[in-house]
Amino acid sequence: GKKCVLKGPFTDPWNRNSSEESISTIETSELGVIRPGTPIKCHGLKRATHLNGKLGEIRSIDSTTGRYRVHFEDKSLKPAAVKLENLLI
């Protein structure tokens, strides 16, 4: 399956409890649906490399492509459709 990178500290439901910030990779099937308003950071983009490291939030998901519609803090950036594996949550 596909994987997703999470940046914490973590608490349940992933049983990765930690008071320190850390990064963990999990199967996307463990994650479930990410809701609109979830803050994210883009990473690992190959075609839109200028968006790597940019902060934003999820506004919606396209159920046909499985990509998340991301609006960025930097208002000079246009919203983008991003795969789950390219989002740090």
Q: Round to whole Å and give the CA distance between 89 and 77.
A: 19
**Rounded CA gap, 19 and 62, in Å?**
34
Model confidence band, residue 12 (pLDDT cutoffs 50, 70, 90): very low
> Can you give the pLDDT at residue 2?
63
Provide, rounded to the nearest whole percent, the portion of the chain with pLDDT above 70.
63
Q: What is the mean pLDDT of residues 37-61?
A: 95
The DSSP code for 29 is H
